[in-house]
C-alpha cells in the first residue's frame, strides 16, 4: 500500500471514530435520554353544567385521549393533552353534544413542594344546533405532597384564567379553576388520577346571568422513555 493511501485511510479512520461513537446511540434514544418523554392514554369523565338564567342544563360523558409530556429542563414539565368524546344530556331540553379539547401545560418547580403552572386550552362543543369554541389561558400553582419517597405524589392546585374567549358570547368576567391529582410511579410506568373544575361567570345580559362549570375526572396510564435517572426511577 502506498504511503499517501495509508495516510488517507488513517485520516478516514480518525474522522469515522467520533461518528461511530455517536452512532452507538440513535438520535431518538439520545432525545429520549435528554427529554425523558412519557406517553399516556387518558380516559375521562366530563361534566358540563350551564345556567343561562333559563334553567339548569347538565351534560356528561366519557372522553378518551392521549397525553404526551417531556422534561426539557430539570424541574420543568411540558405536556400536551388531547381529549374527545360525547356528552349526553341529563336535563330536559338539553342537547347532547360532542366535545374535543387540546390543552398544553407548562410546569416549573419553584420549591420542592410548590410548582407554578401555565396553560393554554382550546375546547370545542359541537351540538346538532351549533359549534362553540372556548379558548383560555391559565396560570396557577400546584401544591405537591409526596408520599412513599415520591412514588406516590398528590397535587392540589388553583388557577386563574385571565384570558377566556368563547365564540358567540362575551368573555366571562370571572374565571378560575381548581384541581386535585394523585399519581403513582413505578419505574417507567405511571398511573394518575385527576379531578379538575373550571368555573366561568359571564356578564349579565338582560338581568340574566350565565354561569358555566366544567368538571372532569381523568385516569391516565403512562410509560416513560429514555434512560432511567435516579429521579425518574424514584
Beta carbons of 166 and 130 less than 8 angstroms apart: no
Binding segment for another protein (CB under 8 A), chosen from 4-12, 35-43, 133-141, 176-184, is: 176-184
> Closest Cα to residue 48, out of 181, 200, 208, 166?
200
Q: Does 180 bind another protein (CB under 8 A)?
A: yes
Residue span binding another protein (CB under 8 A) among the ranges 79-87, 96-104, 114-122, 145-153:
145-153
234 binds another protein (CB under 8 A): yes
In the list 35, 43, 47, 232, the residue contacting another protein (rule: CB under 8 A) is 47
Q: Which of 89, 104, 118, 182 is close enough to bind another protein by CB under 8 A?
A: 182
In angstroms, the CA 64 to CA 131 distance is 20
Told to check if 169 binds another protein by CB under 8 A, we report: no
Shortest distance in whole angstroms from residue 56 CB to another protein: 5
Beta bridge mates, 117: 107, 140
Question: Is residue 165 at the binding interface for another protein, with CB under 8 A as the rule?
Answer: no
State how far the Cα of 130 lies from the Cα of 136, in Å rounded to an integer: 20
Residue 84: C-alpha distances to residues 43, 155, 162 (Å): 10, 24, 25
CA distance 95 to 91: 9
Near another protein by CB under 8 A: residue from 33, 66, 193, 225:
193
The rounded distance, in Å, linking the Cα atoms of 152 and 189 is 12
Which of the stretches 12-20, 120-128, 130-138, 205-213 binds another protein when contact is defined by CB under 8 A?
205-213
In this structure, are residues 179 and 26 in contact, taking their beta carbons and an 8 Å threshold? no
Q: Contact between 179 and another protein (CB under 8 A)?
A: yes
How many residues line the site for another protein (CB under 8 A)?
36
Report if residue 225 touches another protein, rule: CB under 8 A. no
Beta bridge partners of 179: 157, 196
Choices 1-9, 21-29, 63-71, 195-203 (CB under 8 A): range interacting with another protein: 195-203
3-state secondary structure of 130: coil
Q: Which is nearer to another protein, 116 or 217 (CB)?
A: 217
d(CA 102, CA 42): 13
Q: What is the footprint of another protein within residues 101-130 (CB under 8 A)?
A: none
C-beta of residue 40 within 8 angstroms of C-beta of residue 190: yes
Member of 78, 90, 100, 122 binding another protein (CB under 8 A): 90
Q: How far apart are CA 149 and CA 169, in angstroms?
A: 47
Interface contacts to another protein, rule CB under 8 A: 45, 47, 49-51, 56, 58, 90, 145, 147-150, 152, 154, 156, 176, 178-180, 182, 184, 193-195, 197, 199, 201, 211-213, 215-217, 230, 234
Amino acid at each position: 500500500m502506498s504511503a499517501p493511501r495509508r495516510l488517507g485511510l488513517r485520516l478516514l479512520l480518525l474522522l469515522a471514530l467520533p461518528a461511530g461513537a455517536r452512532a452507538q446511540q440513535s438520535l431518538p434514544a439520545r432525545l429520549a435520554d435528554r427529554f425523558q418523554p412519557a406517553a399516556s392514554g387518558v380516559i375521562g369523565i366530563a361534566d358540563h353544567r350551564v345556567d343561562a338564567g333559563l334553567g339548569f342544563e347538565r351534560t356528561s360523558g366519557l372522553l378518551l385521549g392521549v397525553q404526551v409530556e417531556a422534561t426539557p429542563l430539570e424541574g420543568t414539565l411540558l405536556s400536551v393533552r388531547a381529549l374527545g368524546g360525547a356528552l349526553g344530556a341529563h336535563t330536559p331540553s338539553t342537547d347532547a353534544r360532542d366535545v374535543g379539547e387540546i390543552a398544553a401545560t407548562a410546569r416549573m418547580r419553584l420549591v420542592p413542594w410548590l410548582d407554578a403552572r401555565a396553560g393554554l386550552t382550546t375546547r370545542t362543543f359541537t351540538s346538532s344546533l351549533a359549534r362553540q369554541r372556548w379558548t383560555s389561558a391559565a396560570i396557577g400553582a400546584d401544591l405537591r405532597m409526596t408520599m412513599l419517597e415520591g412514588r406516590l405524589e398528590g397535587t392540589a392546585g388553583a388557577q386563574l384564567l385571565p384570558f377566556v374567549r368563547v365564540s358567540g358570547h362575551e368573555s366571562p368576567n370571572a374565571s378560575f379553576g381548581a384541581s386535585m391529582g394523585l399519581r403513582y410511579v413505578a419505574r417507567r410506568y405511571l398511573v394518575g388520577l385527576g379531578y379538575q373544575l373550571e368555573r366561568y361567570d359571564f356578564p349579565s345580559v338582560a338581568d340574566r346571568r350565565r354561569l358555566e362549570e366544567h368538571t372532569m375526572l381523568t385516569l391516565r396510564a403512562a410509560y416513560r422513555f429514555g434512560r432511567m435517572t435516579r429521579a425518574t426511577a424514584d
